Structure 1
């Protein structure tokens, strides 16, 4: 079934106009009927401003404005234009780069935010106040039309805009059996402008539960949100999971309502997954692996202590394989590049149709991994993160898994730093519960890592630096080690 996002909202509003679609804690719920009404009004205002089919419109909103963002997103799409979701936490230079890169006609933004002077800019209220326009009847978008351009996190270089069509975003939606039917509420704390955040927006359109979030994540607030709404489904990133565990929220809040806890955006260390089972006693802990380029293709892994390093198997018609850089498949057990294939219309880089990331429907993930005989995928490392030390190649994921096993470690990130003889050696940055001397850590790792894998440099930090998508900024950590 090929649908558009606009059709999804129209159909849900018709079937359940008073149903709560999205709730920002402390604010009134956004119902499906009101969502459709406000988005249609906004679409008319945008067309009155001259926004046409295929025009790009930047959307800059903070977490407190999730409902306004949802209205703006669907309003842009209803006008036949392309939404460009952007975080309010971006540096001004990065924000301008992205708006310039996609050729944005204008920007719709949250109240009180300042955006670069690219075309026009307006809040939703600014647009509602305009009266000098003729009521428009935009031509409905088609499933193959572009719906959004989402920028990658840029952890290995300049962010790239990834275009997704309506058919890609709405894939699998609109069925009679709605996802997460075991829940009345689905709680998350993903930021706007990320692939995970966009997945939550689509869940608000299509899934059974109302999607609830909060203006600002802290472990206590998020746990209280879950308890207050008796959320049956929770989505987070590993960094949030670590904060929840370290804050001991399970001792102060009743989190027994959670039956499914999904982690996304980064690998979930097995030590963290094990701790989550104690914090959420009734939850199935699940790790999701995908990328902005590959979605909705993904692998899913319900935490299994017997397969601590696996990110699972492909689901819902998607496929995963290990291949050479040219895309030639490799046999089970052999390490190579991870490629994924979406069952939906594939995505593409905006303005770069010839990119080698996309090939014959397959997406090059930028990760190294292997697949066992039962089809379970194991990540070895980001291709750009592999540490080439002397004659050896070291997996930073493997090092991080071993370091996380130390009871004093809250979170850890491994990376390579220059060495005059070996070329590169392993360094690790740690946030700890109690003092941990480098030599004490190395003794602990002696039986868990090979000599060339043991960190030559150990940096203790209050918290690991992260980008807006929740991924560790290893470039910043590498700079700190190199400057000492």
Structure 2
């Protein structure tokens, strides 16, 4: 796309292009320690750690990792919620020349085994509760060392520096070679850390990609550093060294890792960590106590605050919040408008993916935020839409096509998957698998996922279109649509619906509603009612889980 109409929509002071220093992403922590050394860096359970201490702990743990055999390029799994130990471990692994592979703490044995095997992780730093699970799968992996930590350890981080850190009483019996995390940090014997540069791998971030098969996107140090700087420039209303960020979005997800943790670090912001994003009462307490200005999240988090009785009554105010990034799922207009009215904040819908860790688009902080739009490409991000039938043909404004992009944050490829890498990285462009359109001013709108496309007798149906029509019904809280097998038509549309509290509607009533608003081939053949829809912890709808349940139920009937 030669013309870049989106540049005219940028907020004043946001550059079209930027300079990116040739440094590893860990340089941001070192810079913050030099610049804001005595300022609080982390707050967890009302205990604070200053930037200088955070940098010291990180270096000490990095030395510990090297002493315990970590070599440059080795992969370390990180398995814990939003604790200070996650932040310390992440940067320590990178300082030691390792690659961080963050793991969802909710994973079961099968998922955990796959990720550890596929990544080739040789170490894991994990919450104590996961030790038995890790032990059950480690023989099938390359993991040779497990370090354990607990929630209370994050409150006692100062003891690590003083060499007084004692293992918690509930620490399980450890296999030879495994340790308590505090032991590494407490030893304090300096070692030589390897040189780490911008072209070295920093993270393996697992993604379903365009094929739905889990794969590790390789994020280089320069990819993370570039995206951090892009988003820092985008948040032009925030001031370095003066802000507080509330981080309830999971740090093990690339969105929380980069837009939450790394951007906050670059800001020199105090990071208030909240392990459970669903604990609204604690989140409101943290807002009251620490007055955060930056609160990245997902739509469900903002919708929940909108509906909380203490917010509605005015008992708890949200007026400290000035900037919110919403990602991972569509942001409904009413949620955005209500939250902005309650808080006065700028709630900006954005877009990103693990293959470009993590963000590529966002609505402007002060400029027009168009409903339903993922916003504008960030500085130095170029975008084009290509025909779904011919990927060499670019389509124009207003037309639907596959979103392709290039920029300094685009991954190096998929770990150990050359063929899959070649499918998505072509001639310098990342093929996202997302179907989108661009309006004449350069705002982008997601239509759907290419892999979620439903083909009814050869005709294309986008699930999101069906879902939006159902969500407009006054009795419907949320809806999902997907294609299910049909002997004659190949696929037909099935919908799953969650009704609003106290509301009632029949499947036939909802079908008639759709028939009045959609072509007949797009109307759901079957509508099922559920109490909730399956989503990831960051709010992404899991349509494939619904299809799987449908297929299992169909098999049982045969």
TM superposition score normalised by structure 1:
0.90
- 2:417 match: 352
Cα shift at 1:177 = 7.5
| 1:250 counterpart = 2:311 | yes
- Greater alpha carbon shift after TM alignment, 436-445 vs 295-304: 295-304
- 1:448 match: 517
SS of the residue 2:296 aligns to: strand
SS of the residue 1:321 aligns to: strand
- 2:238 match: 181
- Which is greater in Rg? 2
Match of 2:183 among 129, 134, 144: 129
- 1:217 match: 277
Cα shift at 1:129 = 2.4
- 1:91 match: 108
In the alignment, is the contact (CA less than 8 A) between 2:363 and 2:374 conserved in 1? Answer: yes
Match of 1:428 among 495, 506, 514: 495
Alignment of 1:138-149 (within 5 A): 138-149=193-204
Unmatched runs of 5 consecutive residues or more in structure 2: 1-20, 150-166, 168-179
SS of the residue 2:146 aligns to: strand
| 1:44 counterpart = 2:42 | no
CA distance in structure 2 between the partners assigned to 1:306 and 1:40 by the alignment:
42
In the TM superposition, what whole-angstrom CA distance separates every residue of 1:79-99 from its partner, at most 9, and x where no partner exists? 111111112111211111111
| 1:119 counterpart = 2:119 | no
- Greater alpha carbon shift after TM alignment, 455-464 vs 264-273: 264-273
- Alpha-carbon spacing, 1:401–1:226, altered in 2? closer, same or farther (3 Å): farther
Alignment of 1:152-171 (within 5 A): 152=207, 157-171=212-226
Unmatched runs of 5 consecutive residues or more in structure 1: none
In the TM superposition, what whole-angstrom CA distance separates every residue of 1:54-98 from its partner, at most 9, and x where no partner exists? 1111111123x2x10110011111111111111211121111111
| 1:310 counterpart = 2:373 | yes
Higher helix share: 2
- Alpha-carbon spacing, 1:384–1:177, altered in 2? closer, same or farther (3 Å): closer
SS of the residue 2:47 aligns to: coil
In the TM superposition, what whole-angstrom CA distance separates every residue of 1:317-338 from its partner, at most 9, and x where no partner exists? 1122101464542222332211
- 1:465 match: 534
Cα shift at 1:220 = 3.6
- 1:397 match: 464
- 2:333 match: 270
- Greater alpha carbon shift after TM alignment, 74-83 vs 175-184: 175-184
SS of the residue 2:277 aligns to: coil
- 1:191 match: 250
CA distance in structure 2 between the partners assigned to 1:174 and 1:17 by the alignment:
20
Q: Say what the alpha-carbon RMSD is for the aligned residues.
A: 2.8
TM superposition score normalised by structure 2:
0.79
- Alpha-carbon spacing, 1:346–1:150, altered in 2? closer, same or farther (3 Å): closer
Alignment of 1:32-71 (within 5 A): 32-63=51-82, 65=83, 67-71=84-88
Cα shift at 1:194 = 1.1
SS of the residue 2:100 aligns to: strand
- 1:295 match: 357
CA distance in structure 2 between the partners assigned to 1:247 and 1:399 by the alignment:
29
The alignment covers a number of residue pairs equal to 480
- 2:399 match: 334
- 1:10 match: 30
In the alignment, is the contact (CA less than 8 A) between 2:220 and 2:412 conserved in 1? Answer: yes
CA distance in structure 2 between the partners assigned to 1:228 and 1:155 by the alignment:
42
- Alpha-carbon spacing, 1:242–1:386, altered in 2? closer, same or farther (3 Å): farther
In the alignment, is the contact (CA less than 8 A) between 1:155 and 1:473 conserved in 2? Answer: no
Cα shift at 1:297 = 5.0
